[in-house]
Structure 1
Amino acid sequence: MKKSFLISLMVAALVCAFALPNVMAGKEVPADMVLKAPEGMKAKKTPVQFSHGKHSAEYKIDCMTCHHKAKSEADIKGCAVAGCHDQPGKKEANTFYAAYHSKKSDASCVACHKKMKKGPKSCKECHPKNK
């Protein structure tokens, strides 16, 4: 009885040692990325270089602040996926433009930069001219 109990404890310890870190790590966040209009949507400005690492590690912004529709960090998808900010135009909340530029949502880049008084505040700072 004692022997089987000890073996069970050893197996449980090994499972915890090797499996738990992978479960706790969650989804890997890309360090840097380029934000561009979804496929088939015409963009009027150049794509934007974005540093996930800086926003999460340096500025300590919680993922769920920007990815406000996700139920958990494991559920996070890109902004331009179907049903999120995948529509052309500027005025409706579900447009690709609104995801980054809305002044009414704390989840947008423009509103957050204004509120935090950090980061780019003009179009040219995010959208440099074509090279």
Structure 2
Amino acid sequence: MKKTFLIGLVVAALVCAFALPNLSAATKAPADMVLKAPDGIKMKKTPVAFPHGKHEAMLKDCKVCHHTFEGSGDVKGCSAAGCHDKDGKKDQMAYYKAFHGKDTKTCVGCHKAEKKGPKSCKECHPKK
């Protein structure tokens, strides 16, 4: 009886040690992604091939770009409902502004501030 109970405790401890951290961890994003506008917003240029893995390795902190991320759980993408899902160029929550704004938390703003990476339209949005 004691042996069965002890084995059960060891198994439970192993499950907790290995399974629970994975349940609370954020889903790993793919190394390469294609950024598209959210449903209902028409992009005037081609979608952007985005090397997420390269940016993740350089920046280390997800909150640099994903400013609403709390440190655990899934990371919400920019085009998710309630984030940058508005149309237009002036609204702070506009999808366009999330990538093209002058703030260093945007793609264009960061690339210009760091003086590296693509800075022109055609470097990100190649012709089809």
Query: Is the shorter-chain TM-score for this pair beyond 0.5, marking a shared fold?
Result: yes
Secondary structure of the structure 2 residue equivalent to 1:85: coil
Change (3 A) 1:60 1:98: same
> Are the structure 2 counterparts of residues 18 and 79 from structure 1 closer, same or farther at C-alpha, using a change threshold of 3 Å?
same
Quick one: distance in 1 between partners of 2:13 and 2:97? Answer: 48
Letter in 2 for 1:30: P
Report the TM-score when normalising by structure 2. 0.83
SS of aligned partner of 1:49: strand
Q: Give the corresponding residue for 2:124.
A: 126
The alignment covers a number of residue pairs equal to: 128
Aligned AA (1:116): E
Letter aligned with residue 119 of structure 1? G
User: Structure 1, unaligned stretches of length 5 or more?
Assistant: none
Give SS of 1:74's match: coil
Q: Partner residue of 1:68? A: 67
CA contact (8 A) 2:89 2:96 kept: yes
Distance 1:61 1:116 in 2: 16
Deviation of 1:109 (Å): 0.3
- Asked whether the 8 Å contact 1:88–1:95 carries over to 2, the reply is yes
Q: Please report the RMSD computed on the Cα atoms of aligned residues, expressed in angstroms.
A: 2.4
Deviation of the 1:126 alpha carbon: 0.5
Instruction: Map 1:1-131 onto structure 2 (within 5 A).
Output: 6-7=6-7, 10-23=10-23, 25-57=25-57, 59-103=58-102, 105-130=103-128
Q: Distance in 2 between matches of 1:91 and 1:74?
A: 30
| Paired residues of 1:38 and 1:80 also in contact (CA < 8 A) | yes
If asked which structure has higher relative contact order (CA below 8 Å, sep 6+), I would say: 2
Q: TM-score, normalised by structure 1?
A: 0.81
Structure 2 stretches of 5 or more lacking a match? Answer: none
* Residues 26, 74 of structure 2: 8 Å contact kept: no
Question: What is the identity percentage for the equivalent residue pairs of Structure 1 and Structure 2?
Answer: 63
Q: CA deviation at 1:25?
A: 4.4
